């Protein structure tokens, strides 16, 4: 058993973008995380689960559609906390301008997170800070300049290709890399060197942003450790076709097919995600190198990581671009599927000291959970989905220790929505499991009992979403829909006023958690 699972942990799913503060730029940032960690500590919550933080392309707000498996989105940088800001007069002038104040007010007051506007605002400030850093530190070889150079050298295995790719995306106005100049699309060495020479300043800027993010992340993570709080990251199953990883590892990705999910009760036609498929033969030749490197990079960020779409590593649903071909699994036969998943999971468990959590929800063949159990990897237990064959609900106290118990996920309707919409007979059975009585009360009266039941589960990891803790209907994401309603949830009360407004709830959570440990 992983050392993390030797005792009970209770945490909250709260994406960084949701962490509102009075001083942020319309989206949560790394500085905000410091304060939210203190809020968690007050409630005796000791895990902070966040969603993927990988960089997204313009016009995209879904964190599962990334430009890179390694690069973090600069939208989470706090420009005002950059140490060298005071040495950048152009940046200080910009931050004092009416133009900046007007744009800042616009993104702060918007109902949804205006990702592109916020990125534009932050890039404008950060480029000015970078220009000063280049003059004052990189060119002069100061300690800070040497620290930056050391970061670039240590992370060259992904940073070199990412930074060049990111600059070429701008140069080519974000058209697909498959439509770039052929020599660059095919990564011919002479074309690559010419592009690096012609775009050296801008390429270095994208490297600088990645250094800056980790420079701000490190003290936040240190504070989390001091408070006894573990950071729970999320590693998406796949990156965007337009990702640096796909361009730099073309032999490992199949861009002629899309991956997705087979038909189920929620999506009878199945799902097409528009993401490339793995060439499993190639990825296994190098011992799942790309994934092992992802874990190596993530160890600087997290203590726990979620393996998204766990079943996809056993069998991936392929949706051919050629409409004449039918969707299908990429490997046939239960035995072959089980073997491939086992090989992959064993490699991941051996590659990192972090605790993996397998997202095993949806239509899952029995061998997936069998292999998870073999490898000591917790899977999910969503209370409203955990039933016996006769339809009665399983008491969370009976969940296995090596599991994660929760009331909802970022992709489901909230507990409040479910309670409002579920058939009365189903709600009655659920309430009998929770309270031992058959007449379910109004949701406001039921919520505390449900939350307390979840916390007291047999699972060694319990995760509650922020909306479920407070009984709201604010969804984080509605699958198979696009728009600003997704990935835009923000805590209604800013950090600075949160403890005063919700102190009673924090005390209640702390009491339940103490009783469950």
pLDDT for residue 361: 94
pLDDT for residue 169: 99
Sign of CA dihedral 489, 493, 499, 501: negative
In this structure, what token pair is assigned to residue 382?
């969503």
**Stretches in the chain below the pLDDT threshold 50:** none
Task: Using CA atoms of 129, 166, 176, 243 in order, give the dihedral in degrees to the nearest 10.
Answer: -130
In this structure, what token pair is assigned to residue 256?
């002629």
307 DSSP β-pair partners: 235, 358
Which pLDDT tens digit goes with each residue over 133-146?
Answer: 999 999 999 999 99
Q: Is 123 helix (H, G, I), strand (E, B) or coil?
A: helix
Helices marked H in 172-199 — which ranges? 182-185, 189-198
Report yes or no: 257 and 276 within 8 Å, Cβ to Cβ.
yes
Report the C-alpha gap between 366 and 416 in whole angstroms. 30
Report the C-alpha gap between 96 and 194 in whole angstroms. 39
pLDDT for residue 186: 98
Enter the pTM of the model.
0.97
Report the C-alpha gap between 375 and 369 in whole angstroms. 10
pLDDT for residue 437: 85
Report yes or no: 114 and 59 within 8 Å, Cβ to Cβ.
no
């Amino acid at each position: 058993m992983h050392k993390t699972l030797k005792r009970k942990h209770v945490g909250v799913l709260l994406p960084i973008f949701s962490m509102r503060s009075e001083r942020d730029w319309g989206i949560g940032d790394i500085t905000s995380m410091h304060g939210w960690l203190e809020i968690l500590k007050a409630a005796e919550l000791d895990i902070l689960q966040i969603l993927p933080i990988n960089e997204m392309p313009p016009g995209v707000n879904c964190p599962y559609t990334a430009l890179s498996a390694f690069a973090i989105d600069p939208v989470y940088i706090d420009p005002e906390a950059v140490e060298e800001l005071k040495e950048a007069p152009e940046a200080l002038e910009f931050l004092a301008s009416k133009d900046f104040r007007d744009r800042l007010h616009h993104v702060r007051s918007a109902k949804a997170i205006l990702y592109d506007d916020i990125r534009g605002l932050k890039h404008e400030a950060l480029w000015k800070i970078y220009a000063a850093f280049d003059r004052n530190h990189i060119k002069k070889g100061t300690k800070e300049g040497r620290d930056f150079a050391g970061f670039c050298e240590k992370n060259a295995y992904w940073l070199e290709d990412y930074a060049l790719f990111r600059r070429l995306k701008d140069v080519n106005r974000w058209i697909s890399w498959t439509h770039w100049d052929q020599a660059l699309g095919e990564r011919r060495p002479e074309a690559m060197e010419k592009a690096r020479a012609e775009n050296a300043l801008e390429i270095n800027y994208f490297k600088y942003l990645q250094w800056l993010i980790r420079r701000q992340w490190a003290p936040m993570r240190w504070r989390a450790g001091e408070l006894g709080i573990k950071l729970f990251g999320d590693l998406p199953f796949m990156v965007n076709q337009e990702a640096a990883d796909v361009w730099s590892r073309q032999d490992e990705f199949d861009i002629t097919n899309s991956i997705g999910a087979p038909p189920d009760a929620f999506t009878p036609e199945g799902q097409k995600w528009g993401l490339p498929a793995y060439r499993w033969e190639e990825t296994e030749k190098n011992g799942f190198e790309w994934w092992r490197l992802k874990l190596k990079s993530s160890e600087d960020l997290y203590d726990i990581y979620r393996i998204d779409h766990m079943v996809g590593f056993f069998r991936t649903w392929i949706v051919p671009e050629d409409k004449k071909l039918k969707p299908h699994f990429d490997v046939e036969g239960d035995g072959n599927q089980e073997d491939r998943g086992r090989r992959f999971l064993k490699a991941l468990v051996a590659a990192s000291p972090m605790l993996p959590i397998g997202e095993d929800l949806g239509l899952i063949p029995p061998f997936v959970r069998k292999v998870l159990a073999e490898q000591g990897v917790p899977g999910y237990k969503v209370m409203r989905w955990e039933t016996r064959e006769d339809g009665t609900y399983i008491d969370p106290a009976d969940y296995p220790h090596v599991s994660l118990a929760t009331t909802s996920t970022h992709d489901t309707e909230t507990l409040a929505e479910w309670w409002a919409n579920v058939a009365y007979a189903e709600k009655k059975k659920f309430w009998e499991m929770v309270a031992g009585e058959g007449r379910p009360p109004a949701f406001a009266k039921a919520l505390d009992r449900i939350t307390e039941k979840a916390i007291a589960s047999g699972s060694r990891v319990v995760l509650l979403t922020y909306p479920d803790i407070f009984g709201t209907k604010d969804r984080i994401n509605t699958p198979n829909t696009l728009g600003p309603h997704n990935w835009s949830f923000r805590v209604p009360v800013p950090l600075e006023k949160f403890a005063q407004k919700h102190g009673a709830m924090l005390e209640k959570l702390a009491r339940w958690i103490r009783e469950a440990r």
